Structure 1
Amino acid sequence: MKGTALFPGSFDPFTLGHKFVVDQGLELFDRIVIAIGVNSEKAGLLTPDNRARLIRDLYRGEPRIEVRIYTELTGQLCRQLGVKTILRGLRNTVDFEYERNIMQVNRALFPEINTVLLFTPADYVAISSSVIRELLAFGGDPTPLMPENIDIKNYM
């Protein structure tokens, strides 16, 4: 596959699993737009700007990665950017069911947009942004679950 893929999510914070999906996606696509969705009704661990800064720091020097913050429907953003593929990662069957439902809605609303799903390795199945937020809430160290050289405290 060539062209550009959009990898949407809240990325609060960006985990090893997210990095795996992006790194694998770079083997399939020429370019990936990491799109940070903002839900104004949800308070996050990191501000959207700090999430973007973390991801930009992680991919500094990689010209095939673009990071942007968005508030519209993912399909609307794809249309604005001329992107025809949404990239998503799967950890388990719960993720599969969720992503299949979203894909079906997107197909009904934005029929020109396809979804590509990548399975994460078994080592990353238990890693989620929620787990990292929970660890931090109880004073735990999420470093083993975060991309290398990222200290989450620098973004809080």
Structure 2
Amino acid sequence: MKSIAVYPGSFDPLTNGHLDIIRRAYPLFEKIIIAVAINSRKSSLFTPEERLALIKEVFKGWDKIEFDTFQGLTVDYCKSRGARVILRGLRAVTDFDYEYAISLMNKKLAPEIETFFLMADNEYSFVSSTIVKEVARHGKAVSNQVPDIVNEALLKKFENS
């Protein structure tokens, strides 16, 4: 039986690495909810509404994908949406250490929810939202690392700052 997966993240901004994880997970689940985490203690380049709008545009026409924002613990959000899987991407060993610790805590909090890890494709193993923002901040296109609409939004955001 296929289930509902939540793909949580700040997505500030969405990268081709994120897109690759969704593309590969898409046939495995009945529904994937891309959930933009709102963290008031973290300073973001894009507002949650801007991030959600960009994500919706990128995944327009993907009928098994829903979009949402949330605050608080991911497992609580999963429970509220009837999701039994948290989808996460891993780029390197450092990601694994961090994500593994979180998955163990999530398992303690909600034993019925599984964490599903997908390894990043080699092409995207170095791509991070932080690096993408830094390159774009200096006026360089990052079209190889993000969808076109995100590249345009990044350049526009930094052009106005």
User: For 1:45-64, what aligned pairs fall within 5 Å after superposition?
Assistant: 45-64=45-64
Contact 2:38 2:70 in 1 (8 A): yes
Residue 17 of structure 1 corresponds to: 17
Local SS of the residue matching 2:149: coil
Distance in structure 2 (CA, Å) of the matches to 1:104 and 1:72: 17
- Aligned partner of 2:89 in structure 1 is 89
CA distance in 1, matches of 2:121, 2:100: 20
Q: How many equivalent residue pairs?
A: 155
Gaps of 5+ in 2: none
Q: Is residue 2:155 matched to residue 1:153?
A: no
For 1:70, the equivalent position in structure 2 comes to 70
Question: Which digits, 9 at most, give the CA deviation of each residue in 1:53-86, with x for residues without a partner?
Answer: 0010011111211110101210000000010100
How much has 1:151 moved relative to structure 2? 4.1
Q: TM-score, normalised by structure 1?
A: 0.94
Could you report, residue by residue, the CA deviation over 1:5-42 in whole angstroms, capped at 9, with x for unpaired residues? 00000000000000011111102112100010011022
Which residue of structure 2 lines up, in the alignment, with residue 38 of structure 1? 38
What's the TM-score once normalised by structure 2's chain length?
Answer: 0.92
Q: 4+ runs of 1 displaced by more than 4 Å?
A: none
Q: Aligned residues: percent identity?
A: 37
What SS does structure 2 have at the residue aligned with 1:126?
coil
Q: Residues of 2 paired with 1:18 and 1:65: CA distance?
A: 14
2:4, 2:118 → 1: CA distance? 16
- The AA in structure 1 aligned to 2:88 is R
SS of corresponding position for 2:144: helix
SS of aligned partner of 1:150:
helix
Cα distance, 1:136 vs structure 2: 1.6
Cα deviations across residues 94-126 of structure 1 (Å, max 9, x unaligned)? 011111000000001111100000011111011
